[in-house]
Structure 1
């Protein structure tokens, strides 16, 4: 192996170790407890070595935000069934969103640690835009199936997304966790949202 290849391999291994130990800290103490010094102590390297791979703590959190949204987008896309009624697909999307947040709560908290992503973030971060596009696809399908050509799709995606996250935030604020199955209130809210898509609201 060439010296340059070996060096690149060592750098990649160290970067992966930084990510792994960062995640271990997050799982143990929450994302707010993450610090460059704590990571350095965990991997037994100097602080400057961390900075060679990540500019700051926020860059590490950005990594987890992107991987989280990518995983969520893939989860949502996996439940879309073009042969099923469009309204059923929206219901399945909502359920998949809930179960993702319930099973990946630490990751979900990082993804939304600073609030809802801005419109600029949605447009500039590919992983967030991918998730938004899955929602858009399902909402457009409901409008087409219902013959509702007056839907403001961007508005409805923002409404749908805000509603989903709102329920997750309430669960976390009230119980510090998200129960495994969607609540009756959540299901009722999704049904009401679908009603507005069908009935030209």
Structure 2
């Protein structure tokens, strides 16, 4: 059993190395730079080793995105719990935009690159659902008589839009906090 355990640990270590290297390379140079040839060179393994872990680069991107959704859920949850009910929406909005700004390539894998990951339906991956739940719980603190589901979707869409427009320098720089303040005040009604 010792040999099998070692092989499993080595496989897990290679898997982690591939994911970490893809993420780092994407953050440095963009997703276009993430190719099996480039990954193989970076991690010093052959391309077939990468394909033993991920059948395609799309599968690799989805694995990165799922990790990102888990990390986003954690960041949103920490912000929500630290803020308390009166300021939960504000804290979650700031955590969301900070998360996106800290890892633009990760955010792209999660939200802008084509994947098979879907939020609607019965087979939502746990990591996707967890992030939405954090948004929902924050919005529920201010929803009042409004439909919490719809308000959460609007909040999320607005955060994503602000994030994308800010990243692409389509909005005035230096006004991010003002925009979040306005968004939250509008949600409160």
TM-score with structure 2 length normalisation?
0.85
Structure number with greater Rg is 1
Structure 2 partner of 1:56: 56
1:81 deviation in Å? 4.1
Structure 2 partner of 1:132: 132
- Say which SS state the counterpart of residue 184 (structure 2) adopts: helix
In 2: Cα distance, 1:121 partner to 1:61 partner: 21
In 1: Cα distance, 2:63 partner to 2:174 partner: 26
Name structure 2 gaps, 5 residues minimum: none
CA RMSD after TM alignment: 2.7
Stretch of structure 1 that moved more, 108-117 or 58-67: 108-117
| Residues 1:15 and 1:121: Cα distance change in structure 2 (over 3 Å) | farther
TM-superposition CA deviations, 1:17-43 (whole Å, max 9, x none):
222322232122112321112211222
Structure 2 partner of 1:7: 7
CA contact (8 A) 2:26 2:34 kept: yes
Q: How many residues are paired up?
A: 186
In 2: Cα distance, 1:193 partner to 1:51 partner: 46
In 2: Cα distance, 1:83 partner to 1:103 partner: 21
Matched, 1:99 2:98: yes
Name structure 1 gaps, 5 residues minimum: 196-201
1:80 deviation in Å? 2.0
| Residues 1:122 and 1:32: Cα distance change in structure 2 (over 3 Å) | farther
Structure 1 ranges of 4+ moved more than 4 A: 115-118
In 1: Cα distance, 2:14 partner to 2:102 partner: 28
* 1:31-46 pair list within 5 angstroms: 31-46=31-46
- Say which SS state the counterpart of residue 124 (structure 1) adopts: coil
| Residues 1:52 and 1:32: Cα distance change in structure 2 (over 3 Å) | same
- Say which SS state the counterpart of residue 142 (structure 1) adopts: coil
Structure 2 partner of 1:198: none
- Say which SS state the counterpart of residue 52 (structure 1) adopts: helix
| Residues 1:185 and 1:139: Cα distance change in structure 2 (over 3 Å) | closer
| Residues 1:154 and 1:187: Cα distance change in structure 2 (over 3 Å) | same
Structure 2 partner of 1:192: 186
